[in-house]
Every structure is written in structure tokens, then in C-alpha cells.
Structure 1
Amino acid sequence: MDALTASLKVAGSGLHAESTRLRVVSENIANASSTGDTPGADPYARKTIAFQSALDRASQVSMVEIDKIGVDRTAFVQEFDPSHPAADPDGYVKLPNVNPIVEMADMREANRSYQANLQVLKQARELISMTIDLMRGR
């Protein structure tokens, strides 16, 4: 397998991983204020994503893949609001363990990584096109 094809595989795996990461972060942001439905119920729990390196045996290329999507076990924030439908008997409501600032930083990093992988794909495609043109004698 040539280097250009290998770079396409690596960048493709990076695009898949980062798009999944963006989806997880988006879910976290969308549910940053989602409380439980019943009094004392747990709210939305922040999701986490872990990556791992994987060897593509056919091409002997090391790629990235999703190891697991988990749940953050950080404690929920409690806020006193006895009028809230999800308030426990003491008047406290459990709020999600999602920090929008952390999520936005994670989203920005994932977006930059996605763009970098996309640029690799564009450059490899351009090099393949130039090679084909050279072989045609143009």
C-alpha cells in the first residue's frame, strides 16, 4: 500500500472519530439543563468518549478508533428550588454534571482535529490527481 492510500485511511479514521466526538459533545451541551422527570430523580449525566489506536492489519497502518462512550461519574450539582417538579422532599434539584465551558473547549478542539484530517484528505486527493496527470503525460 502506498503512502497516499495509507494517509487516506488514517485521515478517514480521524474524521470518523472526531465526528463522533462532536456528536457526544453536542449531546452534552443540548442536555446541560435537563433535570430528572420525577422528584429526586437523577438528571442527564455527561457522556465521555475515549479513543484508542488500532492497527489495520491489511495495510499495517495505525489508525484511531473509538474505544468507548461512557458516562462521567462526577457528582451532580444540587440547587435549592422547591418549586421545581424534580425537587426532592428537601427542595433540592439535581442538575447535570455538564460544564458548558468545558464542552465548548472540547468542541473547538474536536473541530480543529476534524479540519486537520479533512485537509490531509484534500492534499492526498490532490497529489493522487497530480500523479495521474503526470502518468498521462500532461
Structure 2
Amino acid sequence: MSLFSIFNVAGSGMAAQSLRLNTVASNLANADSVASTPEAAYRAREPLFAAMQGQPGSGNAAGEGVQVLGLSESQSAIPSRYEPGNPLADADGNVYASNVNPVDELVNMISASRSYQNNVEVMNTTKQLMVKTLDLGK
């Protein structure tokens, strides 16, 4: 693996963690939303990642970065609350809340933030190594 491909790997990791942070922000923004039916209630989302494989025949079996496969929605139960005064209440007086767990989202936010920081450190270290290598030629 060349030093230049390290930038590609770390950059794809940073892009993936940025998407993860945006998804967490979206989930937290909708954590207290309610709807009139369980189908209309907001469901927590989470990005799906996969390792990108190197080119066939390149001799590099290690992954070449991260690719985003898409977003998945949580299949956990949608909680209902009895709020007959709510304008979104159904005929029985129930409203349906999102299935976002704020504690899980905060853990995801911390994890994504740390992963992003680690990728930044990888890029900075690689840059420093390249500069030191160039300084050897002076």
C-alpha cells in the first residue's frame, strides 16, 4: 500500500463517519416527534458500511476503504401514548412516537466522532512521514 492510498482509505473513512454523524443528528432531531399512525412515525436510521476491496490481481488483499451501502431503518416497536388532546391523536386518542433511543444515538455520536478523529490523525501522520521523506533528499 502506497502512502497516497492511505489518504484514500482515511478519506473514505472520514466521509463514512461524517454520514454517520449526520444520521445521528437526524435521529436526535426526530426523537420527540409523534405521528397519527405507526406507519407514519419516524424510525431510527443507521448507515450500512462495507469494506471496499482492492483491485483484482493487484496483490493487495486488504480493504481499500469504506463504502456506504445505504441506510437501514430500525424495526423495533413504535411506542404509543394516550394523548387525546393531541391534534395528531387517532380515534382511540393514541399518538405514535419515534423509536429513537437518545442514549444509543449519543453513543453512536461519540463513536463516530472518535473514528473521524482517528482518520484525521492517520492523514496527519502520513503527511508528516511524506514531508520527512522529502526532507531526507535535501
Shorter-chain TM-score above 0.5 = yes
Q: Does 1:40 align with 2:42?
A: no
Q: CA deviation at 1:86?
A: 1.3
Q: CA deviation at 1:105?
A: 0.4
Q: CA deviation at 1:57?
A: 2.1
Letter in 1 for 2:13: G
| Per-residue CA distance 1:59-82 (angstroms, 9 max, x = gap) | 745111112212112111111111
Aligned mates of 1:15, 1:57 — CA distance in 2:
21
1:104: which partner in 2? 106
Task: Give the alignment's Cα RMSD to 1 decimal.
Answer: 1.7
Q: Does 1:6 align with 2:5?
A: yes
Q: CA deviation at 1:46?
A: 1.0
Structure 1 gap segments, 5+ residues each: none
Aligned mates of 2:30, 2:54 — CA distance in 1:
36
> Residue 54 of structure 1: which of 49, 52, 55 is its match?
52
Structure 2 gap segments, 5+ residues each: none
Aligned mates of 1:9, 1:49 — CA distance in 2:
20
Question: 4+ residue stretches of structure 1 with deviation over 6 A?
Answer: none
Q: Equivalent residues in 2 for 1:14-33 (5 A)?
A: 14-33=13-32
Counting matched residue pairs gives: 133
| Per-residue CA distance 1:8-40 (angstroms, 9 max, x = gap) | 12111110110011111110001111222xx43
Aligned mates of 1:74, 1:34 — CA distance in 2:
16
Letter in 2 for 1:86: L
TM-score, with structure 1 as normaliser:
0.88
